[in-house]
Chain A
Amino acid sequence: MIDHDESLANDPLAALVRASAPERFESGFSDRVAARLRADREPALSAVLQRQFFQIVPIVAAASLMLAAYNWWGARETSSSPIEAVLNLPQVTLASAYSSSVLYGAAAADMETQ
């Protein structure tokens, strides 16, 4: 295969093109590269938040499970469903819905007892 290196070496146009090669970026290029490298090394805020989130998740999950177990243990016989027991929901019946404490608040219930 013929490489045109030799012919190009003596070609005035090729020499002119070679001599016109851009030589540098605008001044301070290596500083800009260094600044970007430093920025790459510093952890991003999102990464910090993510790490903290994953540290907290197991603790919160364990606390939630313990609370659910406590609720279920206390209300397992009175609640109509396990979900109500786990969430510690009060039993809702027609009578309780129309009771004065529900309709008019705790003050009315106090007055009734008096």
Chain B
Amino acid sequence: MLERTTDADLLARARAGDDRAFAALVERYESAVAATAVGMLGPGDDADDVGQEAFIRFHHSLDHFRGESSLKTYLVHIAMNLSLNALRRRRRSVLRFVSRDETPIESAEPSAGPDGHVDAEELRVLVRRAVSQLNEKHRAVVVLRMFDDCSTRDAARILGIPEGTVLSRLSRAMKEMEALLAPYVDSGAAVRETIR
């Protein structure tokens, strides 16, 4: 029933203390926040913590959200800031414990089938690995523009950089990814429909 309710209605109900309305918002925007957190940090507890924290902060600021940006952009903004903080903490940590977060799930090389095609899921894993190999600045732009489908303007606003910088970073990031994924791009075009 709540699936068809508008964001504005759900927000009003969540502000009034309706937990079901807030849960509906969490389910509605989980994918956007997951794309940001998992895209930046890789799958695992770190990304899950960032996702939870993003929604907790959103809940605390329900009364302050005025709708100047879309709810998705607002949540992605929070998730991106938290992800960048988590990456800084990772860098600072002297003792690095081997955890699920640091074990790249993309460790397996994709295995091509007899016809030379790569399985859709393996290809997706390969693309995420390529994204994780980008430096932090380039990765943030790719995550916002490609994974979250943000506009250049929104990406610039979220990262606090000029739009031109977003475009140049995106261009460089795509070139790096092209070098990494060149053998699979044709295959990717072929399996795009399968993935979707």
List A residues at the B interface (Cβ < 8 Å). 1-5, 8, 11-26, 29-30, 32-34, 36-37, 40
**Cβ of A24 and Cβ of B34 under 8 Å apart?**
yes
**CB of B140 to closest CB in A, whole Å:** 14
A17: which of B37, B146, B189, B196 is its contact (CB, 8 Å)?
B146
Residues of B within 8 A of A23 (CB): 31, 34-35
List B residues at the A interface (Cβ < 8 Å). 19, 22-23, 26-27, 30-31, 34-35, 37-39, 43, 47-48, 51-52, 55-56, 59, 123-124, 127-128, 131, 142, 145-149, 151-152, 163-164, 167, 170-171, 174, 177-178, 181, 184-186, 188-189, 192, 195-196
Tell me the nearest residue of chain B to A30, going by C-beta: B26
**Cβ of B188 and Cβ of A22 under 8 Å apart?**
no
**Cβ of A16 and Cβ of B35 under 8 Å apart?**
no
**Cβ of B38 and Cβ of A22 under 8 Å apart?**
yes
Residues of B within 8 A of A5 (CB): 151-152
Residues of B within 8 A of A2 (CB): 167
How many angstroms between the C-alpha atoms of A30 and B22 in the bound complex? Answer: 9
A13: which of B37, B56, B181 is its contact (CB, 8 Å)?
B181
A26: which of B23, B48, B55, B145 is its contact (CB, 8 Å)?
B48
**Cβ of A4 and Cβ of B163 under 8 Å apart?**
no
**Cβ of A19 and Cβ of B34 under 8 Å apart?**
no
A4: which of B38, B167, B185 is its contact (CB, 8 Å)?
B167
Residues of A within 8 A of B167 (CB): 1-4
Tell me the nearest residue of chain A to B187, going by C-beta: A16
For the complex with contacts A16-B184, A37-B22, A37-B56, 4 further pairs of A-B residues with Cβ separation under 8 Å are: A12-B192, A23-B31, A29-B48, A37-B19
Tell me the nearest residue of chain A to B146, going by C-beta: A17
Residues of B within 8 A of A8 (CB): 145, 174
Given known contacts A21-B148, A23-B31, A40-B56, A13 and B26 CB-to-CB distance under 8 angstroms: no
Residues of A within 8 A of B55 (CB): 33
How many angstroms between the C-alpha atoms of A24 and B27 in the bound complex? Answer: 9
Tell me the nearest residue of chain B to A17, going by C-beta: B146
Given known contacts A13-B174, A29-B51, A22 and B181 CB-to-CB distance under 8 angstroms: no
**Cβ of A12 and Cβ of B188 under 8 Å apart?**
yes
**CB of B164 to closest CB in A, whole Å:** 7
Q: Which 9 A-B pairs have the closest CB atoms?
A: A16-B188, A22-B38, A20-B127, A21-B147, A12-B189, A19-B195, A20-B124, A30-B26, A17-B146
**CB of B17 to closest CB in A, whole Å:** 10
Residues of A within 8 A of B147 (CB): 17-18, 20-22
